[in-house]
Chain A
Amino acid sequence: MKYSIFSLLRNAFSYHENWPAAWRSPDPRSAYDVVIVGGGGHGLATAYYLARNHRITNVAVLEKGWLGGGNTGRNTTIIRSNYLWDESAHLYEHALRLYEGLSRDLNYNIMLSQRGVLNLAHNLGDLRELSRRVNAIRLNGIDSEILNPAEIKAMVPILNTSPSSRYPVLGASLQRRGGTARHDAVAWGLARGADARGVDIIQNCEVTGIRHSGGAVEGVETTRGYIRTKKVGVVVAGHASVLAEMAGFRLPVESHPLQALVSEPIKPIHHCVVMSNAVHVYVSQSDKGELVIGAGIDAYHSYAQRGSLPVIEEQMGALIELFPIFSRLRMLRQWGGIVDVCPDASPIIGKTPVRNLYFNCGWGTGGFKATPGSGWVFAHTIAHDTPHPLNAAFTLERFTSGALIDEHGAAAVAH
């Protein structure tokens, strides 16, 4: 059933008792052309675009828990494409463009809210870096601009721009097309779209082994039986290294907890996304009224989807530095996800040492904003057994060739 104001009206008369399921809950079949491991946003997007762009519909998405329950359901929902390097900028911009049409493409409102993303600069080094980034982003054809403190104040009046604060705000970059989207809706809309095109989404089905012989993949062992398949795409974020081990190789990936939290809902007072690296916190306000707040990863490695308190304490100190009026508000809920981080902070999307086994991982803290773009290029890679031009650089081999895409930046501070 197509979703629209008319179908809502029609269903109102039958007390909404005739809405069909957004997706089926099929039992796994014994064989598929392609098996996608991981029913998060990226996995579902991969399945969706395999069906939509490549007409490959004999596909199963295997999810060990509930779909969208990993980092897709745990992030701070920020979307932006203001990346420094060409390769990243093009990939994230492709994702942002897809996001801009995704609600209508999926017939599912993902509530993309392009109210702008501000990245603050607090010292001369930050300003220099900001100017470099904005120049590069613009020359890549992506919207980006620099604001001075007065312009920042006009845009975010509640931000502390006092020159006497510990690390005063000296400037900011602004991507007006950046913003947020409703994270669950992205997963659900993609699931509904993939299901409608024939993809089997199988929840509560954990992959326990990857069978291959003669260097090529044959199938996957799961908690619901063995499934034969010609191709396997693995998109499991924090557990990528675990799946790689099953297939017999290692990934240059570290898994860390990344925490986020929300405040109690308050009447809207903060309309864009504000991010700061030097006073480390980022914050937006959801359409429900909650402030959604995040910062850096927990330093230690972990697969447990929870973090430690000191990280939150530092984050709150930073928040109140930037927004002194938020001090009396309260944290309603804190949680953690597990992010898989590559040494160069860029993802791995492509082929592996095992033939017909493909990995899409290493998104670190940047996964959500890439979701449709990631699925688009990964589907292409699986369908053609060769990367899409947009992910050609994001190979596993770059760690042996040295062609890294280092998005950390040295972030060092000058003499």
Chain B
Amino acid sequence: MNEQRFRLFAGGRIDRERAVRFDFDGERYTGFAGDTVASALLAHGVHLVGRSFKYHRPRGILSAGAEEPNALLQVGRGAYTLPNQRATQVELYAGLSATSQNRWPSLRFDAGAVSSLLSPLFPAGFYYKTFMWPPSFWLRHYEPLIRRAAGLGRSPTEPDPDRYEKMHVHCDVLVVGAGAAGLAAALSAGRTGARVMLADEQSEPGGWLLGSKTAIDDAPAVEWIASALEDLRSMPEVRVLPRTTVTGYYDHNYLVALERVGDHLPPGTGGARPRQRLWKIRARQVVLATGAHERPLVFRNNDRPGIMLAGAARQYVNRYAVRPGESAVVVTNNDSAYPAAIDLSDCGMQVHIVDVRSRPPEAMAAAARQRSIEIFAGHALVAAHGHARVREVTLASLDAARTGYTGTPRRLSCDLVAMSGGLNPAVHLFSQSRGRIVYSPERGCFVPGESVQAERSAGAANGTFPLAYCLSEGREAGKAAAAAAGFRKRGGLRSPKVEGEREQPAEAWWISPPSRAGAPLNKHFVDFQNDVSAADIALAAREGYRSVEHVKRYTTTGMGTDQGKTSNTNAIAIISQTLGVDPSQVGVTTFRPPYTPLTFGALAGRDIGELADPVRTTPMHDWHLAHGAAFEDVGQWKRPWYYPAAGESMQDAVDRECLAARNAIGILDATTLGKIDIQGADAAEFLDRIYTNGFRKLAPGRCRYGLMCGEDGMVFDDGVTARLADRHFLMSTTTGGAARVLAWLEEWSQTEWPELEVYFNSVTEQYAVASISGPFARALLEELATGIDLGPEALPFMSWGEGRVAGIPARIVRVSFTGESSFEINVPSDYGLYLWTTLMRAGARYGITPFGTEAMHVLRAEKGFIIAGQDTDGTVTPDDLGLGRMVSRHKDFIGKRSLARPDCRRADRKQLVGLLTEDPQTVLPEGAQIVDRVLPRPPMKMIGHVTSSYFSANLGRSIALALLRGGRERHGERVVLPLPKRRVAATVTAPVFYDEQGERLRA
């Protein structure tokens, strides 16, 4: 059984009453509530937790937070598994199961580590220089080899059992980060009465204070945190969100945060709560109190397990009550490592300090020496030794130029190296807000420059590190943000009392020189996850990849899952050293969202599965279902495709439906066609500009078929529009085009012709429509209709009238897409099903037959009626369709100018024709291409293609519509269509196969 041998007996923010069992790589461990997986493993003395990406080097825990590049674990089992989880952020829960990644067969014995032996062959970008011969080997051998090495953790292989939600919220002040500065900002903003949101990444607010022994107001900092939270909770307009990472900062102060609602609980136990919640926040003002990340120092083998950031070591001691080893070497270029050394010493470790500065801070050094901590000033770490754990370091005194060593190097044995290269303000969100970050030579880091959005940075995020200043800067930022949002309160907040800190300046120090001049820096790691060394960066610069973006892309530094939080500044410094320029001239790579990785499922939210896109059905849908209809997706609609009777094939059903519509009565659910209600004094003028044909002179009571074109003169939708009154039209559109047409009308109305008084309303869902076609359609309707004369004189083709059908108020429109005498009966939606069933019952004696979209397509093709989007493809003019007569010469309309272009007037444009196959039983596949001459093999010159093709039961043969170059001149010619395994010959005809004079539909 594994014991927590490194757990301190007292202290920490863990709950010792609640032991939590978990396993890692099959071994069982116990931690406490409040632990992360990292702290719990460290409590057992486990440092080796992973392998690096490229060389499979053993890696330990570097940090205690979001910047972790090394300690990435696969967490959870089965459908709940999650790859690449930072052990430093995963909160322990009972039964948690974690495994190390990117190793085989085991973490300790990893066969992949052989690549480490070959590492001299694998410098940055090596793959661009080889694997080119023989050519066939790349896809078959080399790339599979590279792909086998790709990736870290494993994707789940089952659908996600969890649920994700989204919240939309407005606030006056959003404070990001609940460390010292953030809490101070939230307090001062909150007391003005402003709506304040305080979002913090961690399970518990407090930030770095949780890991320090600092006193505020003469009491431990955690007491100040607790009282600050109590104050905030008493403010009704303040919302505190723990476990919430603000990941993105977009335009207009729009920010996105991910709340991990259930990730700290055993999977599947969250009940009704989502796993994560995506907050979309529109903030009047933003305070960025996102803190800072500590920089590693770059020395040989600085990646060995047991080498961690000094601040992280402090977190483990103070926050998690874990002693991260027996014997520590603390190496630093700044003061912050001294308190760390003291904390490590106080928990019983033997400690040495290596300070690259020749003059360490006096008071701190004295305090250290009091604890018998030896300080090596003016020294640097030359190298670390050990494999799966650091066991020794070499240090040496730096020479005056600080590019080499003097004197004899010394060795110190240790099992922990705590390093601090200074702090990098977390400027990610600031940079995402489009603010420019600037290099501060005195602080040796990049800090926020001028704000671009309504935002201010405070505390360590602003490059302000001493606690007293963090608190005051936070307080002022909160107050100023609230004031800018319109909230003020007189009287200042009392400043909490903090021990004074006078710091010695940090030295701009990035990398230890090699042990002897000219020795390679290929084990001086800059980016831990991707195994990028100082030598790689120098190589990139030498080879001409000098822009920081080139270095990043060539070496892959900063491209890991941590996106370079610990490596970027060091990389920039090394580039600047290599090129001999100032870091400010190197520039930075662009910070992009998200700050930390964001779950795909949370971004998708509830818009998946059956909610992926709303399913639209008509009021008659249940009837179609009950009568066995097969459905087709048309846009969002489910439309009956055909209604197979028992034992019928699709073709049987379609044939029967087609015959019924021509010989008895066919009935179609036409509800889905788009219906746009258009009103206003200028409605007629507007339609005149939209349609190619005229609508101004259309009399009320009449309808007209219209074509609309894009600016390019190409047909983009069609439909019948009825004039309901002088200033009132009802436009119908294609089912799938309805939304686009409405947007099109609105765009022209709002942006181009605002002077026209016209209004649009989608009424598609307001009316149910049953369309009856066929020789007995009028007879049936006459039985049911009252208050309307349905005779061909009173209600001729292309007119409409009102009356009642089966007692329901109805608008009856005489339009026909089948070519038969048709009546389109529009009733309020709620009556749709009643209308349908009544028609079915009354029509039974006429042989009424419901038909679906397939039969509709056949019937209209027999008549040569086009379907916009099937017989057109955005390259077809009205004239190409044989509808040139519908293009007005007397008025302007959208697309008119384009239609005057020479190419639109060529005689050999592709034009709509009919095709009759030589074998009448052969149905051409839609999409088949017509070639001018069939050759034994491609390429062949294509001159057209089949747009629609069916077997017509009414004609007893196949028919097809096609677009054919110069087609109108080719009627009677024979063409050939080469298909993958055969060729089909057909005769070109006019695109009308049935009732050419249109006598039936006018009847």
Residues of A within 8 A of B (CB): 3-5, 7-9, 12, 15-17, 19-25, 65-67, 69, 73, 86, 101, 103-104, 107-115, 122-125, 128-136, 138-141, 158, 165-167, 182, 184-185, 188-189, 203, 263-269, 279, 285-289, 306, 308-309, 312-314, 316-321, 324-335, 343-344, 398, 400-404, 406, 408-415
Contacts and interface: CB of A to CB of B under 8 A. Distances in A.
A16 B150 contact: no
Contacts of B633: 122-124, 167
28 contacts: A3-B132, A4-B130, A4-B133, A8-B130, A21-B542, A108-B129, A109-B138, A111-B138, A122-B633, A124-B632, A125-B869, A128-B870, A132-B929, A135-B929, A139-B931, A265-B152, A288-B150, A317-B607, A320-B600, A325-B160, A329-B83, A330-B599, A331-B598, A332-B594, A400-B901, A406-B874, A409-B873, A414-B735
Nearest to A122: B633
B950 interface: no
Interface string B864-908: 000111101111000000000000000000000010011110000
A342 to B, nearest CB: 11
Contacts, number: 359
Given A141-B939, A317-B608, 19 more contacts: A8-B126, A15-B535, A114-B139, A123-B632, A125-B869, A128-B870, A132-B945, A140-B942, A167-B612, A268-B147, A269-B155, A320-B604, A321-B608, A325-B160, A332-B563, A401-B901, A406-B874, A411-B869, A413-B635
Given A109-B127, A308-B251, A414-B734, A266 B535 contact: no
Contact of B712 (A141, A158, A320, A404): A404
A309 B604 CA distance: 11
B942 A309 contact: no
B600 A128 contact: no
Interface string B184-217: 0000000000000000000000000000000000
Contact of A333 (B522, B592, B945): B592
Contact of A265 (B80, B158, B561, B593): B561
Nearest 10 CB-CB pairs, A to B? A413-B736, A412-B869, A289-B151, A402-B901, A402-B903, A132-B927, A131-B927, A330-B597, A327-B160, A66-B547
Given A19-B543, A264-B152, A128 B874 contact: no
A288 to B, nearest CB: 6
Interface in B937-967: 937-940, 942, 945
Nearest to A14: B520
Nearest to A63: B547
Given A317-B604, A328-B160, A69 B549 contact: yes
Nearest to A104: B132
A10 to B, nearest CB: 11
A324 B873 contact: no
B737 A3 contact: no
A309 B598 CA distance: 12
A112 B138 contact: yes
Given A9-B121, A123-B633, A139-B939, A129 B927 contact: yes
A138 B980 contact: yes
Q: Which of A24, A166, A203, A409 has the most CB of B within 10 A?
A: A166
B612 A317 contact: yes
A374 B935 CA distance: 30
A415 B132 contact: no
B152 A103 contact: no
A180 to B, nearest CB: 11
B925 interface: yes
A22 B551 CA distance: 13
B853 interface: yes
B751 interface: no
A155 B945 CA distance: 30
B155 A414 contact: no
A400 B544 CA distance: 45
Contacts of B535: 15-16
Given A109-B130, A316-B600, A413-B735, A309 B901 contact: no
Interface residues of B, number: 130
B763 interface: no
Contacts of A333: 563, 592-594
A402 B876 CA distance: 12
B5 interface: no
B265 interface: no
Q: Which of B544, B559, B927 has the most CB of A within 10 A?
A: B544
B612 A321 contact: yes
B82 interface: yes
Given A139-B929, A167-B633, A288-B151, A403 B903 contact: yes
A240 to B, nearest CB: 20
Contact of B248 (A20, A269, A309): A309
A26 to B, nearest CB: 11
B634 interface: yes
A175 to B, nearest CB: 15
B673 interface: yes
Contacts of A344: 712
Contact of B158 (A103, A131, A325): A325
Interface in B596-617: 597-601, 603-605, 607-610, 612-613, 615
Contact of B254 (A8, A128, A309): A309
B128 A188 contact: yes
Q: Which of A23, A108, A132 has the most CB of B within 10 A?
A: A132
Contact of B147 (A17, A287, A321): A287
A332 B558 CA distance: 12
Contact of A410 (B148, B560, B716): B716
B143 interface: yes
Contacts of B980: 138
B143 A113 contact: yes
B939 A140 contact: yes
A410 B131 CA distance: 43
Nearest to A405: B875
Contact of B713 (A263, A402, A408): A402
Interface string B131-172: 111010011000100111011111111111010000000000
A242 to B, nearest CB: 20
B298 to A, nearest CB: 17
A8 B131 CA distance: 11
Contacts of B868: 410, 412
Given A15-B535, A23-B544, A415-B853, A410 B872 contact: yes
Given A21-B544, A136-B929, A267-B154, A410 B254 contact: no
Contacts of A7: 129
B825 to A, nearest CB: 18
Contacts of B254: 309
A163 to B, nearest CB: 12
B561 A264 contact: yes
Contacts of A103: 132, 135, 138
A335 B869 CA distance: 33
Contacts of B127: 109, 111
Contacts of A86: 942
Given A131-B927, A412-B716, A331 B592 contact: no
B443 interface: no
A65 B590 CA distance: 13
A320 B931 CA distance: 41
A265 B132 contact: no
B978 interface: yes
B83 A264 contact: yes
B150 A131 contact: no
B869 A15 contact: no
B714 interface: yes
Nearest to B250: A309
B874 A69 contact: no
A136 B129 CA distance: 38
A111 B150 contact: no
A111 B613 CA distance: 38
A328 B128 contact: no
Q: Which of A66, A112, A184, A414 has the most CB of B within 10 A?
A: A414
A21 B543 contact: yes
